[in-house]
Amino acid sequence: MRTMRLVLVATLGAACLGAGDPVRPLPAGGHHVLFVGNSLTYTNDLPRTLRDLATAGGDTIRTAAVALPNLALVDHAAGQSDAVATIGRGTWEWVVMQQGPSSRGVNRDTLVIGAQALARSIRAAGARPALYMVWPARANLADFDGVRDAYRAAACAVDGAFLPAGEAWRAAWRADASLALYGPDDFHPGPLGTWLAALVMYERITGRDARALPAVVAVAGQRLSVPAETARLLQRAAHEANVAADAQGCGS
């Protein structure tokens, strides 16, 4: 099925940003969102997927990304990408930060440190920092709580938004354990995993309910053949994760 073949799609523009290609100014209007991360952001073109979701809901989200393979937030902050300069010269409303699962030891510490370093530039630019919670590799499913706690701690440390994509994955699996959210390497997201992450962000950025969106799945600019009931399940999972995150406090 084509749905499951569209995996690990990385747009060259997103993948190369920070390596010398400046982000172009965005048109006026709508929510301006900058992504700073790595392959978990550019796989399946999460920024475009979020834009298309907003369009389907009658909103406008304009996105750009500074995302390079294997970079942590401290790497972006230290100048291994163009992230700091891009933050400073944009008209961003949100800057969404992401690195790996970061559930343990030094990785958790550097997630917080990197978020704090970038948040200074984000606040100076008049934008709001947000932490995009990812998920562990399939081999480390027991680490989900640790990933959540690490990203929530980073969001709290910068008084930013917590985007619980990983928790939405778990909510979706509670409803249907057979959902293919991982890609073939059992770490990067498959198309449904990316779409679910975008749903979480759509709710937080627009303030609208993902359950009111059309039951149509489009990832990286391509509409996928996904049953409407599956799309509705994922919309409910995104909403459930955001509601639970709000109830926890700090980072809503």
Q: Read off the tokens for 188.
A: 């990067």
**Residue among 58, 172, 80, 78 nearest 121 (CA):** 78
Span 154-176, average pLDDT: 98
State the amino acid at position 241 in one-letter form: A
Residue 15 has pLDDT above 50, yes or no: no
Q: How far apart are CA 166 and CA 172, in angstroms?
A: 10
Q: How far apart are CA 99 and CA 95, in angstroms?
A: 13
Please list, residue by residue across 101-116, b when 16 or more beta carbons sit within 10 angstroms of its beta carbon and e when fewer do: bbbeeeebebbbbbbb
Write down the pLDDT at residue 3: 33
Choice between 16 and 210, residue whose per-residue pLDDT is larger: 210
pLDDT in tens, 58-109: 999 999 999 999 999 999 999 999 999 999 998 999 999 999 999 988 999 9
State the residue range of the domain holding 62: 2-248
Q: How confident is the model at residue 53 (pLDDT cuts 50, 70, 90)?
A: very high
Write down the pLDDT at residue 14: 39
Q: Read off the tokens for 193.
A: 């995993």
**Residue among 69, 147, 134, 58 nearest 108 (CA):** 147
Write down the pLDDT at residue 27: 76
Q: How far apart are CA 247 and CA 252, in angstroms?
A: 9
Span 190-202, average pLDDT: 99
Range in 4-18, 66-80, 195-209 the model is least confident about: 4-18
**Residue among 226, 171, 228 nearest 4 (CA):** 226
Say what the pTM is: 0.91
Write down the pLDDT at residue 252: 55
Phi then psi dihedrals of residue 22, to 5 deg: -70, 150
Residue 2 has pLDDT above 80, yes or no: no
Q: Read off the tokens for 42.
A: 């550019």
Phi then psi dihedrals of residue 233, to 5 deg: -60, -45
Residue 118 CA, chain-centre distance (Å), reads 16
Query: What's the domain count of the chain?
Result: 1
- Work out the mean pLDDT of the chain and round it to a whole number: 91
CATH of the domain at 116: 3.40.50.1110
